[in-house]
Amino acid sequence: LSTIKIGCKNELFGHNLRLGNSLVFWALCGRYVLGHEAMRRMGTANVLIAGMRGLGVEIAKNVILSGVKSVTVQDEGPAEWMDFSSQFFLLASHLGQNRALSSLSQLSGLNPHVHVSAHTGPLKETLLQQFQVVVLTDSTLDDQQRFGTFCHSNGIKFIVADTKGLCGQLFCDFGEEFEVLDTDGETPASAMIDHITKADPGVVTCIEQRHGFVNGSTVSLSEVCGMTKLNSYGPVDIKVLGPDSFSICDTSSFSEYKKGGVATEVKKSKMLQFKPLDEALVDPELLVMTDYGKMTKHQTLHLAFQALHGFVKRVGRLPKPRSQSDAELLVAMVTELNKVSHLDQLDEGVVQSLSFTACGDLAPVNAFIGGLAAQEEAMFYLSGKLSIGMCWWIFIPCLSALSTALLSLLQRGSRYDGQTAVFGSGFQERLGEQKYFLVGAGAIGCELLKNFALIGLGAGEGGHITVTDMDSIERSNLNRQFLFRSQDIGVREKQKSEVAAQAVRVMNPNMNITAHQNRLDPDSEQVYGHAFFMGLDGVAAALDNVEARVYLDGRCVQHQRPMLEGGTLGSKGHTLVVVPHLTESYGPAKTGSQNASPLCTLKNFPHRIEHTLQVRRLHEGPLGERSRSNDAYAIVPCRDAAGFLERTLGRGEAEALEVLECVWGGVGGQRPQGWEDCVGWARRQWETLYNNDIAQLLHCFPSDQLTSSGLPFWSGAKRCPHPLTFDPSNTTHMDYVVAAANLYGQIYGIVGTRDSSAIRSILETVHIPAFTPKSTVKIHLTDKEMEEERESGHLDTGRLDELQKKLSSPPVNSAALQMHPIDFEKDDDNNFHIDYIVAASNLRAENYDIPTADRHKSKLIAGRIIPAIATTTAAVAGLMCVELYKLVQGHRKISSYRSGYINLAVQYCVLSEPLGPQRFTVSDRSGEVNSAQSNPRGCLHPGKAGSNCTPPHPRTTLPGAVFAQSRRPSMHKGTQV
């Protein structure tokens, strides 16, 4: 079986992607983040993960979801109650059984294309030789040094990951020579060229205000007219002169630049050298800071983790919770180590806190370190994508989540023992009493629910979790939404929220959780109203768009409820904690943050493949809106046709004309009677879109057209198009006709075919009307012109009257009018949706001489797929739940909280103090009062003292609106702040 699976994987990762191969969907988002070659390399790797407590199973889960060849999990120990606070694949029936064997079934179910096996014996060098990557968790320092030396000398990539209570560490050694194929993990930047000077060096000016290049970037130039030698010159190093200009090579001997051109970044590879563990332990330069306000803590923790190993070796156990004598011994051992390290300052408080909590095992900390470890292993080494600033040692201190209150530390032999060892049983009861609202059960939502179950949030008397998500489960979800399985796909009653709720009830049978399928918006305020929010202790946002975040934030501000918010985009992620009266809120999104392309650009002046791929915005009428309008007309039947027309006209004459044209197209002379009519319609659509419309555009704006200022009209971002001539031997031409005809037939319940030869025979009989461009046609240059004409009321009222008369008496048999609206579904490769979009987009790209896109890229853009990977979502959810600990404890100092900003592609991980609410002055009868609030959307009482209202702040929203960047810290590519 494993041979068969590997065969499928190798076939997939070639360039010939077969339709219907389920593995296509499993690796989908990984390819969007890493690319084909990176995923191919990952598909040949064998990985060993030692230790199957919470951290080990977290790493294994993430690596298996990423799509490697095989994963072997190793553990000699039996499951015990202490493991249940973070090991999410253990059940009560597994107590006393081997942890690796107990987890095997669940791990194997995560990805059927990865061979997963268990090893219950001890680690030996002969075992390690079978793997390309070895990960140690829950290991001694002696084992780390012994196996680290062996792996370094044998070319095996070596990772050490460890968590102790509220602290975690990560070390990576990828050998003496490691080639980095991509140093930042970003999509290569590109920019359209406006002008190139003849000089030494030549200066390139771009159309866009920001080209996105940095000093030292290498670019290739293409599609340049005039100075054509640059098209074959090869990659050239640039020097950035400004946001819209850069210098290149000597162009003084080249011919004059005329127009056009695209500059595209060329990624450079880089060789890195890694130090073995023995050397890294004594090299302070390898320590990576994650919280720049706590540099001394990081340096101290580096020694404290080493001393902790010595403590275990001397005493035979970890320090006891809150044991002052054990803490004093550990401080003394750290002080002794510092005689060699010579740190200027030791933070003894950090050492004491580590000692107090070291025997604890917390799911959120494991989730964060496990996400980083799997990212290093799967996404960087295996894919060849790695930053120049690769981190060798990284420490994550979350000690601000530790309350200073005296805690009851009674161990009761329960699933929360690993957590009560840190916070005490009293805090555990408070966690169980919490009432939380989780919005979203996707990638981050699944990870949050897992953590909620493990920490026992809402699992006690009076506690409760409400989760809502209106989406059903799609196959492309499976590679990062680990609570779902293949058998959940396409089952109507298996919505995301319900399946996720059932999965976490298995992890923790005490969970009190209710699943809803409601969209969170003003329409659902009858369900999620004042009483609902006032009954909550907090809200967690796991949403995939800014608008929903803004709305939820406004509701939380209005009802003064804390909110945990997080988002990801590929390897990037952020977390934000909103505390009433203490921190800033998420705030309103800036207008236009979605950066939608103007409709006039899409219709007439596309210059990027992203423009041509927005087929859904251009062609919704023929393939979607027509059938919905027709159904509304057919449902009314002849009993109330007049009422239907009256309601339609009430929407305004312009909109009414569009709707009635759609209806007439479905019931009048355009309604197909059979498959031949569908093929004829598709062929005529092809002629209209890719020949006639272009000919009309060139009639209005000839190729030599000049603007009022005497400049060429077709210049800059305006590419001059050319009509296409239909050729049945052209694959793309036929792909369009096959897909369009089948989709059109589906609307009317007509069965089609993929048989191209049969369709060619039908095409020979299709009549194509002659086309003559009209001088009366007006083509809008801007969306503003389009809207002004629409609002001016200039429309064909005669046509509107004609349609009203034709539709006032529909056929008696209204059932014959029924149509089947098409809802876009990207994950079914047999439904012609992506086939149509790829062909339609590439034909339009050919019209405008835009480089075409393959199916992979087309599906990403047209399907609005948000690149997501399990590692980033796990890390983000872990950071959110660390802040949850603080909220439940009731911390009232802003310095206790942290906002998180990570970019795992460049080892960027910074935790910073959140911003406080802006202070301003309001007046009342008694005078002026300083109040820490302003008025975001949703606040009912602007100016009322104490309400958590903050003004909007600058926000950068990336495509998909998943990753929002706040003001602090900076997120410049490859920069740590």
Catalytic sites, residue numbers: 600
**Distance between CA atoms of 377 and 133, rounded to whole angstroms?**
7
The separation between CA 897 and the C-alpha centre of its own chain, rounded to angstroms, equals 25
**Distance between CA atoms of 186 and 905, rounded to whole angstroms?**
8
- Nearest 5°: phi and psi at 881? -75, -25
Paired tokens of 143:
């084992």
Q: From residue 64, how far is each of 89, 115, 287, 432 by CA, in Å?
A: 14, 9, 29, 32
- Contact (CB, 8 A) for 745 and 632: no
**Distance between CA atoms of 381 and 810, rounded to whole angstroms?**
66
Q: Which burial class, exposed, middle or buried, applies to 404 when counting CB atoms under 10 A from its CB (0-12, 13-18, 19+)? A: exposed
State the CB neighbour count (10 A cutoff) for residue 676: 17
Which phi-psi region, left, alpha or beta, contains residue 921 (left: φ > 0; alpha: ψ -120 to 50)? beta
- The angle that helices 731-747 and 756-763 make with each other, rounded to 10 degrees, is 90
- Nearest 5°: phi and psi at 153? -80, -15
**Distance between CA atoms of 453 and 506, rounded to whole angstroms?**
9
**Distance between CA atoms of 447 and 450, rounded to whole angstroms?**
5
- Contact (CB, 8 A) for 542 and 960: no
Q: How does DSSP assign 394-455, residue by residue?
A: EEEE-GGGS--S-------SSTTHHHHHHH-HHHHHHHHH-EEEEE--SHHHHHHHHHHHHH
**Distance between CA atoms of 954 and 24, rounded to whole angstroms?**
38
From first CA to last CA, the distance across the chain in angstroms is: 49
**Distance between CA atoms of 117 and 111, rounded to whole angstroms?**
13
- Matching residue, tokens 């006039």: 600
Paired tokens of 262:
């695209």
What dihedral do alpha carbons 503, 66, 493, 960 form, nearest 10°?
A: 120
Peptide bond between residue 201 and the one before it cis (omega within 30 degrees of 0): yes
Q: Label the pairing between strands 70-74 and 115-119.
A: parallel
Paired tokens of 791:
């609002």
Paired tokens of 445:
């939502």
Paired tokens of 826:
């990207």
Q: From residue 10, how far is each of 7, 41, 186, 836 by CA, in Å?
A: 5, 10, 25, 27
- Contact (CB, 8 A) for 458 and 511: yes
